[in-house]
Chain A
Amino acid sequence: MGRGTRKRDEDSGTEVGEGTDEWTQSRAAVRPPDQLELTDAELKEEFTRILTANNPHAPQNIVRYSFKEGTYKLIGFVNQLAVHFSQVGNLIPKDSDEGRRQHYRDELAAGRTLGQPEAAAAETVTEELITPVQPKERMLTNKFNFSERASQTFNHRLRWEIYDAYVEELEKQEKTKEKEKTKTPVAKKTGKMAMRKLMSMESQSDDITKVSQAAKIVERMVNQNTYDDIAQDFKYYEDTADEFRDQEGTLLPLWKFQNDKAKHLAVTALCWNPKYRDLFAVGHGSYDFMKQSRGMLLLYSMKNPSFPEYIFSSDSGIMCLDMHVDHPYLVVVGHYDGNVAIYNLKKPHSQPTFRSSAKSGKHTEPVWQVKWQKDDMDQNLNFFSVSSDGRIVSWTIVKSELVHTDVIKLKVEGSTMEVSEGLQLHTMGCGTAFDFHKEIDYMFLVGTEEGKIYKCSKSYSSQFLDTYDAHNMAVDAVSWNPFHTKVFMSCSSDWTVKIWDHTIKTPMFIYDLNSAVGDVAWAPYSSTVFAAVTTDGKAHVFDLAINKYEAICNQPVVAKKKNKITHVQFNPIHPIIIVGDDRGHVTCLKLSPNLRKMPKEKKGQEVQKGPAVEIAKLDKLLNLVREVKTKT
């Protein structure tokens, strides 16, 4: 074979195809000087080699002399066996003579059987097994902390292990079924490969993410131990001094939530999660228009006061947020730069899932409030936003995109001017707060910077249903009463909190709190209880059923001169409130029993609970006030 310098071992059995490839490749790189020159045609010639099981060293044509026939004959079959290695061993079968002899020799040595060596040779095989008599000396183990495996309780393979395995199998089957459904038959091959990759990927990532679950649990437990007294207070402490305090109540400080990353940002929004009652969201941003920086959205759980459950950061300060009632993992936020965004807690990436932009109709001024609405007729999620640019916009998520519709433009009444060519110029009012009616879907209230509150309808975009001259300064918050359908409340930086009946143009109750009021909130358990927070660091709790003129609790909650409280929210089921300040701290306070008073039971009468009772309670009070008004 003229193949140049390459030697080939006959026994190696390499395939030709592989060899030629290698050869041609190396040929391109280096040519040894004494290599045989061949034409291309000769090079491309294919030489086939066939692998067989024949021993190449065995002679192929053995000839033997046959005495019978007197000639040399060719032996057809040649032995192809090639022995590579052989070694003589030293094992003998037990039953053979030598084996038995050795066996008896051992017995004699052990001294178990006596006087049998002669008869043993002819005896039957059935003998007792000889157990090793004395084990080698064991290493002494420390009896205080060493536990031998054999002495431990034996865990039988119990039915729950079978159950667990069965459940796993079920899950796997379901997964494969789903995957098959979504794949077309053509793509099944590639699908299987992808599936295999997915499985291996999952098992890799599971190694680390599985620990995350356990780590979370341990973190919560450690925190519970550290803050054990607070947790106990939260659950069980009831201030017994309330009996002696007449009608006043107190707020017991519980946990304080703060995070380094949100240190210099004020709390601009608070919201409890409608499904998980220990989870709440805190929006961080800045109210100072000179110092605008980034924003953060943190979600804390009361079970872990030291670190938030979810962290999202954004470029622009967050001014407001809301969580969807039916989909508690969707959080909508409004930014200082006028954008709105929706975060999905199920996918905690830093980026929001939907975001508005200049093209998609973002506001030109900070968004002060956002609120989720019921799904529209096509089952699309939608929410409303109000901003200082005077527009109230309804956003809908249609096929994974945010679509906006201007609902109302707030025009300052009496300010329409006629400019040339018959155009009308309106001065736009600046919306700062809004709230939707609990039962009448289309009705909502908007508070403005001018201090007016407009009652609007979603269907009428140009006219307001009603206007209330509420305050002298910007309205900071408006809120409908959760029980009584006619009553709402508003607060403002002009130091007042006012309670209204929406059919009457003047407020029913006015409270002056000696400092700009940041936020008001109705209590979810009573129609007559509400809380207000002021910039001097105080929290005021009112109960109209007990005292119509004064707060029943008036307590500084944060360090007076440094922090201003910006927001307050009641927890829907626990008797606690969260208060956010402008340093980025959120404090959780427990309401003492006096603040949660329910109507006293009269003898023989059952205590009625429920919204009807609450409404009646408030109605009584309102009637009193109305009577007074009609008299004067």
Chain B
Amino acid sequence: MAEVEETLKRLQTQKGVQGIILVNTEGIPIKSTMNNPTTTQHANLMHNFVLKARSTVHEIDPQNDLTFLQIHSKKNEIIVAPDKDYFLIAIQNPTK
């Protein structure tokens, strides 16, 4: 359990990471390192998106599953790793 906490802490200190949100299956943010309005906004929007992506993958092949999702935009990058009961969202600003 402490390992997970450590991993999340490390993630937070990585270069360019703006925030991390841990969301449960209903789209409710459990843990977040950002302010409340941003958190709820991201959680709500990403929730539907991830479900849609997952169902797409499953539809095409039921034995397949979504491993992760990356939305690369001009200003930043949103990374989502879904799991059975949770998904972890990280927002990074990749410096170049």
Contacts and interface: CB of A to CB of B under 8 A. Distances in A.
Interface in B4-54: 4, 7-8, 10-11, 14-17, 20, 22, 41, 48, 51-52
Given A152-B48, A221-B70, A228-B96, A214 B81 contact: yes
A215 B7 contact: yes
A225 B62 contact: no
A616 to B, nearest CB: 45
B62 A159 contact: yes
A306 B59 CA distance: 36
A615 B16 CA distance: 50
Contact of B88 (A161, A205, A209, A215): A215
Contacts of A226: 14-16, 92, 94-95
Given A160-B62, A212-B3, A215-B8, A222 B48 contact: no
Given A221-B79, A226-B16, A211 B10 contact: no
B84 to A, nearest CB: 6
Interface size class for chain B?
Answer: 35 or more
Contacts of B58: 158, 160-161, 163
A336 interface: no
A219 B17 CA distance: 10
A12 interface: no
Contacts of B17: 222
A223 interface: yes
A12 to B, nearest CB: 45
A218 interface: yes
Interface string A172-207: 000000000000000000000000000000000111
B19 to A, nearest CB: 12
A154 to B, nearest CB: 11
A153 interface: yes
B85 A210 contact: yes
A209 B1 contact: yes
Given A209-B1, A222-B17, A222-B90, A215 B68 contact: no
A214 B55 contact: no
B73 interface: no
Nearest to A228: B94
A613 B52 CA distance: 53
Nearest to A215: B7
A38 to B, nearest CB: 58
Contact of A306 (B14, B20, B92): B14
Contact of B62 (A153, A163, A214): A163
Contacts of A206: 85
A218 B10 contact: no
Nearest to B84: A210
Contacts of B41: 145
B77 A218 contact: no
A592 B34 CA distance: 44
A219 B59 contact: no
Interface residues of A, number: 34
Contacts, number: 98
A218 to B, nearest CB: 5
B11 A219 contact: yes
A158 B55 contact: yes
B58 to A, nearest CB: 3
A372 interface: no
Interface centre among B58, B67, B70 (most CB of A within 10 A): B58
B50 to A, nearest CB: 11
Interface string A485-514: 000000000000000000000000000000
Contacts of B8: 215
Nearest to B14: A222
A208 B4 contact: yes
Interface string A612-626: 000000000000000
Contacts of B51: 155
Contact of B83 (A205, A211, A223): A211
Contact of B68 (A153, A161, A163, A221): A221
Contact of A214 (B3, B16, B88, B94): B88
A213 B88 CA distance: 10
Interface centre among A160, A207, A222 (most CB of B within 10 A): A222
Given A155-B51, A160-B58, A210-B86, A217 B10 contact: no
A221 to B, nearest CB: 5
Contact of B11 (A209, A222, A228): A222
Contacts of A221: 68, 70, 79, 81, 90
A223 B17 CA distance: 10
13 contacts: A158-B59, A160-B59, A211-B83, A212-B7, A213-B81, A213-B83, A214-B83, A215-B81, A222-B11, A222-B17, A222-B90, A228-B96, A306-B14
Interface of A: 145, 147, 152-153, 155, 158-161, 163, 205-219, 221-223, 225-226, 228-229, 306-307
Given A163-B58, A211-B88, A229-B96, 17 more contacts: A145-B41, A158-B55, A206-B85, A208-B1, A210-B83, A210-B86, A214-B87, A215-B11, A215-B88, A217-B68, A218-B11, A218-B81, A221-B70, A222-B17, A225-B92, A226-B16, A307-B10
Interface of B: 1, 3-4, 7-8, 10-11, 14-17, 20, 22, 41, 48, 51-52, 55, 58-59, 62-63, 67-68, 70, 77, 79, 81-88, 90, 92, 94-96
